[in-house]
Structure 1
Amino acid sequence: MTLTPQAIRIFHLQPGAQARELPELPTQPPARGFYWIACTRAAFSTELPRLQGVLQALTGQQLVDLHVSDLLNAQLPSHYDYTSQYDMLVVRRLSASLAPAAAPLMPAAARGGPPVLRRIDTSPVGFAVFDQVLLSVHPADCSVRDAYAARLITPPAPTTTPPPEAPKDSAPPTTPAEAVVRELRTGPVAGTRLPASPADLMLRMVNQIVDNYLDLRRELSRQLDHWQAELLQPRTRFNNWRALMDARLTLHQLDEICEDQRAAVQAWCAVLETWAPSSDTPAALRELDLLKVRSRDVLEHIERVVHHVRRLEQSTEATVQMHFSAQSNRTNDIMRTLTALTAVFLPLNLIAGIFGMNFEFIPLVHKQDGFWWAMGSMTATAVGLTLFFWRKRYLARTGQG
């Protein structure tokens, strides 16, 4: 029976050969390499009995019922679990759109703000790692599966340029760990080498999922920087409080999601340290070292996302506090100026009130120059008080940075 390509995709990866996509589910274990069975969550639910039979034929083991329910759960947080025959890792990825199976960070009705915030929706991707089979369960709109599948089956571009030679004065790696790190970060195998095992392929896809979070943080940073600039403008009336509160809530929930990712990968790394190589050959030892290095690299990427999200949370909170502090200082300046002006005019009102009393005999009232004496005294009092308050900086504005 031929399967729908978009529902279930099967790949055969073997060392030294191009990855090959199979039209049907295999019935026998591979002689070399391993199989990658990638299916959508709906196809996994529909074809579950058949997939369980294929896993039994290929590995001698089926998925336990609890893990099946985990892979079918669209609300499941990132976590790691294992049995004696396989390991299971669930990682939440960023959704490209609001699919029905996706679990948004917040209800759609309450989610507001700029488009970058409305795009932050996540859905789980599950991996079951056997010795010669990788089963991955994706959402229906998962671009990670299709992008990595296209990378596997696309032949590398031919090149005639020889690889660069190492400097003659550079010392060779002194330990196997240094050799593994150099091979991962430099050299011809950095981006073209096929995954050597199901665990290696899983880690590469997890790393791609985490990198999507790293790309998202740039857009979040630009949006929050724009809001911070508006908040710190002394003459700007900020009106995007609903969007800002949504952003703070989204950042908090994104922090929780990344913490779940980190806990899951840390559990995977802890179990990986207990693994023994399939043989005592240098190739087997090197493959295990590659898995450990790649796992630590994925963990480091997750920690970078967590660190950046927390820094954005703290920066947003600090900017809000600075905004209210600046508004409070501005209000204090206004009240201080009004108080000083009131104090200047109080003696003038007193003088005017005295000369406005209904008495028959008041000094200066019946004199020809009495008005000018009163006006002069009022002017002198006002000027004197103004100079006094100016010297005391009661009328000076607080400097704005």
Structure 2
Amino acid sequence: MQTFYFFQHPEEPFSCVQQVPVQDQEQQFIWVDCVREDLVNRTEQWQQEILNQSQILLNEYHIKDILNLEHPCTFDTMDEYDLLIFRKLITPDDTVSSGEKAVERHENLFGLATSPISFIFTSQVLITIREKGNHAVEHYLERIMQTLNKGIDEQNRPRKLPSTPLDLALRLLNAMIDGYLDIRNPLSRRVEFWQQELLQGNRRFQKWQQLFQENMTFQQIENLCEEQIDALQELRNEIVENYAHIKGKKRTERQDIILVRVDDLVSHVGRIQKYIIRLGSAIQSAIDLHFSAVANQTNENMRILAILTAVFAPLTLLTGVYGMNFEFIPGLKNPIGFWIMLFVMVVCTVLLMVYFYRRHLVGRGERSVIDMLAQQHKDQHVNLFWFLDYEPIKQTMKEVEKMAKFK
């Protein structure tokens, strides 16, 4: 547990920070940073320590929510304080312990792990409860430590310190959400991998279980972003309805600036959510193309089998006719009958192959897709009533139609 005291500079209008109370300066707020090891197995002692430092008595149900490692994102308000539980993805930058030595075990769903961080804030106090190894918070703590090593007159350079607990909470949230943008490249590479496996693999695709888990991971991230957006929207509504209670009476920070910052956080989470949706759609499109390619290959195989069947059907007919057990069959006693029949069979085969070739069923594929779909190619259909196109017959048909109308 670490405590930081933010106070007003005695001469300049900016904030300073110390790790001990400053008696002769106007104190703005205090930040109590806790890790989960401070709460687990010693909840009553921790609650008493918080009461001594911040004069805040936490609700027992909120204590249970904070201790719940799998609690979803939520925002709740009380007369004494507001509670925001925000779940963040555990990224490679985080060093959150998840092995046998961990105090608590994370529920790892489809390769996705999240870590909760709780914000308890009033106009005078901010309490954060996080897991040890949260990169975003620890990186901000390093900056605070560097600021502590400077003199009071230098602490506001080059970046201003927060002036309210809500301001500090939004900065921590912004640091965590900005880290989400770094996961886009790894996720894109995963999608490219599955696209290559589905569309360019030389072997039959068999990694359906892994692909299912990948899809479920994208779904979990999308649901997490939706929970985060809902929690931030509830925080925004509280700022709109009760901003004076949150910022304190002596604060001069404008409400519209805080709302812009909250909207910016919602926008960043929304960008990640839309990006995840696009990646999921890309995988689904690859799956559809995979099945289309498999169906096309099946159709191609069936087409080849149909051509072979059509080529050998006349040959089977001829051999069946001359294989009948009749005593008298024309050409049966002819010494060259076998060669004549063999010649007829070869000619039938060649004629059928030429016919299929001209119909673009074998080899060539010059026809356009539109012609194939609309079936408007001149060789696409066989006109069984070709004799009706003969000119004298056309004239006769017209005379018959006139006589029928006259009657």
Interval containing the TM-score (normalised by the shorter chain) = 0.7 to 0.9
The equivalences for 1:221-260 within 5 A come to 221-233=188-200, 235-260=202-227
Q: Does residue 71 of structure 2 align to residue 104 of structure 1?
A: no
How far apart in 2 are the matches of 1:28 and 1:88?
Answer: 29
Partner residue in 2 for 1:3: none
| CA distance in 2 between partners of 1:64 and 1:205 (Å) | 24
Unpaired stretches in structure 2, ≥5 consecutive residues: 9-13, 151-155, 370-407
2: CA distance, partners of 1:190 / 1:263: 35
Alignment match, 1:197: 164
User: For the Cα contact (< 8 Å) 1:80–1:267, is it kept in 2?
Assistant: yes
Choose 193-202 or 231-240, whichever is displaced more.
231-240
Q: Do the aligned residues in 1 keep the contact of 2:71 with 2:116 (CA within 8 Å)?
A: yes
Distance 1:30 1:244 in 2: 60
Partner in structure 2 of residue 122 of structure 1: 114
State whether structure 2 residue 252 is matched by structure 1 residue 284: yes
Gap change, CA 1:252 and 1:28, over 3 Å in 2? farther
2:83 is aligned, of 84, 88, 92, to: 88
Query: What are the within-5 Å matches in structure 2 for residues 104-183 of structure 1?
Result: 104-106=107-109, 111=110, 118=111, 120-155=112-147
- Three-state SS of the structure 2 residue aligned to 1:33 is strand
Are the counterparts in 1 of residues 38 and 46 from structure 2 also a CA contact under 8 Å?
no
Name the CA shift for 1:43/1:203 in 2 (closer, same or farther; >3 Å). same
Instruction: Map residues 200-215 of structure 1 onto 2, 5 A cutoff.
Output: 200-215=167-182
Does residue 64 of structure 2 align to residue 69 of structure 1? Answer: yes
Cα deviation per residue 1:89-147 (whole Å; 9 max; x = unaligned)?
Answer: 111112345355353352xxxx4xxxxxx3x2012111101222211111233223211
In the TM superposition, residue 349 of structure 1 has moved relative to its aligned partner by 2.0
Helix, strand or coil for the counterpart of 1:237? coil
C-alpha deviation, 1:54, in angstroms: 4.7
Aligned mates of 1:43, 1:394 — CA distance in 2: 76
The structure with the largest alpha-carbon Rg is 2
- Residue 186 of structure 2 corresponds to residue 219 of structure 1: yes
Note if contact 1:28-1:57 (Cα within 8 Å) is conserved in structure 2. no
Q: 1:105 to 1:253 in 2, by over 3 A?
A: farther
Q: Figure out how many residues of one structure are paired with residues of the other and give that number.
A: 347
Q: What is the CA-CA distance between 1:155 and the residue it aligns to?
A: 4.5
Q: Aligned AA for 2:124?
A: Q
**Among 277, 288, 301, which residue is 1:334 paired with?**
301
Equivalent residue letter for 1:42: E
Secondary structure, counterpart of 1:39 in structure 2: strand
Whose RCO is larger (CA < 8 A, sep 6+)? 1
**SS in structure 1 at match of 2:39:** helix
- Aligned residue for 1:85, secondary structure, equals coil
Alignment CA distance shift 1:17-1:264 (3 Å): closer
Q: Tell me how far 1:259 sits from its aligned partner.
A: 1.2
Residue 53 of structure 1, CA deviation: 4.0
Give the alignment's TM-score, normalised by structure 2: 0.75
In the alignment, the residues of structure 2 paired with residue 121 and residue 377 of structure 1 have an alpha-carbon distance, to the nearest angstrom, of 74
Quote the Cα distance in structure 2 between the aligned partners of 1:265 and 1:321: 36
Distance 1:254 1:372 in 2: 75
Q: Percent identity?
A: 31
Match of 1:169 in 2: none
Contact 2:15 2:162 in 1 (8 A): no
* Bigger shift: residues 247-256 or 205-214: 205-214
Unpaired segments ≥5 residues, structure 1: 1-7, 112-117, 159-188
8 Å contact kept, 2:18–2:148: no
Deviations 1:300-325 (A, max 9, x none): 11111221222222222232222112
TM-score normalised by the chain length of structure 1 = 0.76
C-alpha distance in 2 between matches for 1:360 and 1:13: 117
Shift of the 382–190 alpha-carbon distance from structure 1 to 2, 3 Å rule, reads farther
- Quick one: which amino acid aligns to residue 4 of structure 2? F
Tell me, what secondary structure is at the counterpart of 1:12? strand
Shift of 1:266: 0.4
In the TM superposition, 1:304-315 aligns within 5 A as: 304-315=271-282
Q: Helix, strand or coil: the match of 1:11?
A: strand
Q: Name the amino acid aligned to 1:68.
A: I
1:13 — aligned with what?
A: 6
Assess, with a 3 A threshold, how the Cα gap between structure 1 residues 236 and 251 changes in structure 2: closer, same or farther.
same
Secondary structure, counterpart of 2:294 in structure 1: helix
